[in-house]
Structure 1
Amino acid sequence: MFGNAFAQDAPKHDWSLADMASQRGRIFLVTGGTSGIGYESAKALAAAGAQVVIAARSSERGQEAIASIRQETPNARVQFEALDLANLASIRALGERLNATLPRLDGLINNAGIMEPPERDTSADGFEMQFAVNYLGHFALTAELLPLLQKATSPRVVTLSSIAAARGALHFSDLQFEQDYDAGSAYAQSKLACLMFALELQRRSDAAGWGIQSIASHPGLSRTNLQANHGFVRRSLRVLFQPAAQGALPTLYAATAPEARGGAYYGPTGMMEARGPLGLAEVPQSAMDAEAAARLWKVSEELSGKRFPTRLAD
């Protein structure tokens, strides 16, 4: 049922923040960096000396996150930029601002997400909200920031998926779940799309010579605000989840470890990959469908109105 599309050496299971090299001189952008996995990632990167851009919707929460990070790392180089991933105009505006002000971007962490809103909602552009925020917004943002990434020496794009991707399917006949909305299925589709995007981005970078390492990660079951929409049973079971700081390790490894490889997928290695030490995550067979990934890429360019450079193979 499962396999790994790319042969990789597994990271050491006890990898921790103590193993993370200095990130001084590197610039990262973390979407959704005001809470959960994104906040823990931004905090760790700033503590390691990186310049960190937190991109999120709420300026108030952004300033709170920055103040909290600076309490632990007084000299942290961290800034907030407004970004609404459910609004393509907001994504374009951020791309314009950063392309005009940053010298380069060493790492893009596509982290922000929403999970299983009980009622179907749509983005400013008319897309199902989970598809828009979790996947399509990050697809468009990566395209917007590609020029900055290409200015870096060894740029990386880390895209967060989920163990839910294993039960996901791409509903090409109804990607926006207009006909029969199911919150769980829509979430799983969005996270499968994220994983397929990460793998396809690596394939296209190799083909076109973009020089980008595209890596996927997932946090297992971690205590974050994503559980806010869940019922009493799931909320009560949060005590069984691992802390967000532990859940952020696969992402931080993917973003910083010299031995991390493009096309890899990192996550916890405990039972069902819900928690536990860092390792290679299992790639669902559906995520390895290169034909479906190419189709999703084409549809995503059409929906977002944002196109990546043509592949050399074309």
Structure 2
Amino acid sequence: MSKPEPGPRTVLITGAGEGLGYETARLLVAGNHHVVVHGRTADQADYAVERLVKDGTDPLRLDVAVADFTDFRQVATMAHLVGEAHRRLDLLVNNAAVAGPETRELTVDGHEVTWQVNYLAPYLLTTMLTGPLANARRGRVVNVSSPLHARANLEPADLAETRRYLRHAAYARSKLALTMFTKALTLYGPTSLTAVSVHPGILDTALLGTYSEIGLHPSEGAHVVAQLCTQATVINGGYYNDRALPYRPAACVEDLGAVQRLWKASAHQTGMG
């Protein structure tokens, strides 16, 4: 178990321009935290901040960060700028995600889009921010996962998914990798860092099509994510369901050999090792 720092904290939320990320930002900034709002574009991030300020948020408690996760250079630049602006980062919420295209597409870095946006980019961002997270002494990473992760398989020899591409399968495997990354952070991250993954529920966002045709308002899921961000203690490396309760993840999440192999492959794919 680990407890976060008391009092207001500095929080970076990816994909905070809309949907679950925006609603989570709204809740955390209302809790007197300083929130860094990430958007894929500057216009998206700025518009989110404008909406928050219009709702009564003190603009001095908001910052913006911009990066298109299909480009590692933008992610690295964003991590550098956030680290320069915030020597201490108490909380990182890896929320940004895409459902993926109908047919296989590659990013400028040569990776399948869903794999890079939903997993490799969060891996790169998190590892580049371990310094500021460690400076918080009790920093926390919250990875937004999905129960679909339990239906996925990772083939170490074909992480690029060149043999066969199915949109829903690509999404599921990206969430499996992110959930395994949560466990990996307990092994390879700073000793002071706590990491959890959480399924926020089936929500009416751009990702709804991967689950169902009906979903709850994103604010419902935001309460779940915000609870995992702020509650006094969490299980380090734990996976939580849409009621913010510990839940058993896919078996390979607990397979430390598989976690280690994924960590090494991710470091290679992102140029971090």
TM-score where L is the length of structure 2? 0.92
Give the deviation of 1:246 after TM superposition: 1.2
Match of 1:215 in 2: 196
Alpha-carbon distance change, 39 to 23 in structure 1, aligned in 2, over 3 angstroms = farther
Give the deviation of 1:24 after TM superposition: 5.0
Percent of aligned pairs with the same residue?
Answer: 29
Once structures 1 and 2 are overlaid, which stretch shifts more, 296-305 or 150-159?
150-159
Matches within 5 A, 1:280-299: 280-299=246-265
Give the deviation of 1:22 after TM superposition: 11
- Return the alpha-carbon distance in structure 1 between the equivalents of residues 88 and 57 of structure 2: 24
Is the partner of 1:81 in helix, strand or coil?
A: strand
State the Cα deviation string for residues 264-313 of structure 1 (Å, max 9, x = none).
21122xxxxxxxx4322331112222111100000000110114xxxxxx
State the Cα deviation string for residues 1-59 of structure 1 (Å, max 9, x = none).
xxxxxxx8xxxxxxxxxxxx998531000010011111111111111111111122122
State the Cα deviation string for residues 214-235 of structure 1 (Å, max 9, x = none).
11111121111223xx49x94x
Matches within 5 A, 1:126-141: 126-141=110-125
Matches within 5 A, 1:43-122: 43-76=26-59, 77-122=61-106
Segments of structure 1 that go 5 or more residues without pairing to the other structure are 1-7, 9-20, 269-276, 308-314
- Return the alpha-carbon distance in structure 1 between the equivalents of residues 5 and 80 of structure 2: 29
Is the partner of 1:248 in helix, strand or coil?
A: helix
State the Cα deviation string for residues 63-119 of structure 1 (Å, max 9, x = none).
221111122233151121111222111111112212222131000111100013212
- Contact 2:5 2:136 (8 Å CA) reproduced: no
Higher Cα Rg: structure 1 or 2? 1
State the Cα deviation string for residues 186-231 of structure 1 (Å, max 9, x = none).
11110000000001111333xxx5310011111121111223xx49
Segments of structure 2 that go 5 or more residues without pairing to the other structure are none
Is the partner of 1:181 in helix, strand or coil?
A: coil
- Contact 1:26 1:106 (8 Å CA) reproduced: yes
CA RMSD of aligned residues (A): 2.1
Amino acid at match of 1:161: S
Amino acid at match of 1:125: D
Match of 1:301 in 2: 267
- Return the alpha-carbon distance in structure 2 between the equivalents of residues 50 and 267 of structure 1: 24
- Return the alpha-carbon distance in structure 1 between the equivalents of residues 66 and 237 of structure 2: 29
Amino acid at match of 1:120: R
Q: Does 1:258 align with 2:242?
A: no
- Return the alpha-carbon distance in structure 2 between the equivalents of residues 56 and 71 of structure 1: 18
- Return the alpha-carbon distance in structure 2 between the equivalents of residues 122 and 73 of structure 1: 41
Matches within 5 A, 1:81-230: 81-205=65-189, 209-227=190-208, 230=209
Match of 1:40 in 2: 23
Q: How many residues align?
A: 270
Is the partner of 2:93 in helix, strand or coil?
A: strand
- Contact 2:69 2:75 (8 Å CA) reproduced: yes
TM-score where L is the length of structure 1? 0.81
- Contact 2:119 2:177 (8 Å CA) reproduced: yes
- Return the alpha-carbon distance in structure 1 between the equivalents of residues 235 and 110 of structure 2: 36
- Return the alpha-carbon distance in structure 1 between the equivalents of residues 193 and 133 of structure 2: 8
- Contact 1:23 1:50 (8 Å CA) reproduced: no
Alpha-carbon distance change, 73 to 281 in structure 1, aligned in 2, over 3 angstroms = farther
- Return the alpha-carbon distance in structure 1 between the equivalents of residues 223 and 182 of structure 2: 18
Match of 1:271 in 2: none
Give the deviation of 1:152 after TM superposition: 0.8
- Return the alpha-carbon distance in structure 2 between the equivalents of residues 128 and 297 of structure 1: 18
- Contact 1:106 1:155 (8 Å CA) reproduced: yes
